[in-house]
Each structure stands twice: as C-alpha cells, then as structure tokens.
Amino acid sequence: MRTRLSALAALASLLLVASAHAGEDDNPFEQPAAPTELPTLPPLAVLPELPPLPELPPLGARSALPTPTPTPTPTPTPTATLLSLPAVASATLGQYDEYERPIAAFSIDASPVSAAAFQRCVTAGHCTRPSCASAHGAEGRVTCVDLEQAKSYCAFAGERLPTEEEWEHAARQASAVGMRSTDDAAEWTSSPYCFFCGKDDQVVRGGPARNPALRGWRPPATHDASVGFRCARGEEP
C-alpha cells in the first residue's frame, strides 16, 4: 500500500513539471525576439535621360511619303539631218504617176543610217548586231540588218520607218529637199508589199536604178548588203 502511494506521488510530480514547461512554450503574451537587422543595399545607378519621343500625328492624318527620284531617260543621239516636208493635199505617186494621194507633214533622214550610229544602239542594248560588218566604213550606211533590226533602231532614235509613200514623195524632191543616198542600195519601208498575195514581203524603195517611182520587195528576215534604211518622224498614217 505504501509502495503504491509512492508511485502515485512520483507520477503527480512528473505531470506538474510537464505542465509547467508546456505553459512556457505556448505563452501568447511572450514578446517575440527582435528581428535580425538586414544589410544595407548599395544605391541604385542613375540612368541617363532618354531623348523625348517625336510627336505622333493625330489619328486619321497621313504623313507625306518621300518623292522618288525619277530615273533619267537617255536621250538618243540624232543620226542624220532631218528633212521636214509639209503636208500636201494631193501628191503624185506610182511608177506611172497613177496615184494622187494626200500626205501629212513628216520628217525624214537626209541620209541612210550609218554603221556608227547603229553601233550606238547596239551599245545601248536596244539593237542586235548586224550579221556582217559594214563594207562602207563607220560613216557609211549600215549593212546586214533585217526589218526588225531597222525598226528597233528607229524606235531607239525616237523615230520610225517611213511609209513607201513618204519615201517616194521625198525622193521625188531629193534635189530640192536634200535627200541623198550613199550608194545604190534599196531601203526598208514600213509598208507591206501586198495584203492579198499570200506573202509577208515588205516594200523596199530605191536601188541601182535610182528611180524614186520603182518599188521592190524583200522578205522581212533579209539581212544582206543590198538593203539599208533611214528613219522618219511624224504621225504614221
């Protein structure tokens, strides 16, 4: 009995000690420990001032676009003296003077296109090379050019091939207006030889006969020494 009472007394002492320590840990009125002092941070770097932004145009306004610089157009070098012929109401034409036709005012080269002038067109990239070298030198007429090559050159010079009526009208007045030829070659015109004969031949004028009324023809692909050309200017009929 005495032993049991001693055990109970020891157990009660242990409970009192545990209760005392529990009260210390859960005390709501206990002051918290002072916080540890944080280290002092270095001062922030001073950023440079940025330039002010440009003012934006109001909504709906369009800003002016830069004007593009125009590309200069090369000016063709004239190949020969241009002869100006006035308009006529009734020009006599044909091998037997059988036609009377009106002709508008136009200009025509005094001489056939020279080899040197045609070479300038080749150098500029607007003409293809003749199929043979000129037999008359650089200042003589160009040889071995077909119809399309002749047209390309005249377009490069700001001109065109003359019609056969224009060529004949000027040739009939050659001594009066100053139209001349460098040799006995025929010359391309812009006129087809016929519309209903089933051929695509082109009219050539001039030649060894030196008769302005005679007309000949060649296939457009002809490119030999027998045919040259000169250019004209004016509204083509």
Higher-confidence position of 52 and 138:
138
Is residue 146 assigned to a domain? yes
Convert the pLDDT of each residue in 2-51 to its tens digit. Answer: 556 565 666 666 555 455 555 555 554 455 565 566 667 777 777 777 77
One-character DSSP codes across 172-221: HTHHHHT---SSS-EEEEEEES-SSSS---EEEEE-TT--TT-EEEE-TT
Which CATH number fits the domain that encloses residue 226? 3.90.1580.10
Note if the pTM is more than 0.95.
Answer: no
pLDDT (0 to 100) of residue 5: 58
In a domain, 61, yes or no: no
Asked if residue 177 is part of any domain, the answer here is yes
Asked if residue 35 belongs to a domain, the reply is no
With a cut of 60, say whether residue 73 has pLDDT above it.
no
Is residue 208 one of the residues assigned to a domain? yes
Domain extent for 87: 82-233
Mean pLDDT taken over the chain = 82
Taking only the tens place, the pLDDT of each residue in 155-194 is 999 999 999 999 999 999 999 999 988 778 899 999 999 8
Count of domains observed in the chain? 1
> Has residue 28 been placed in a domain?
no
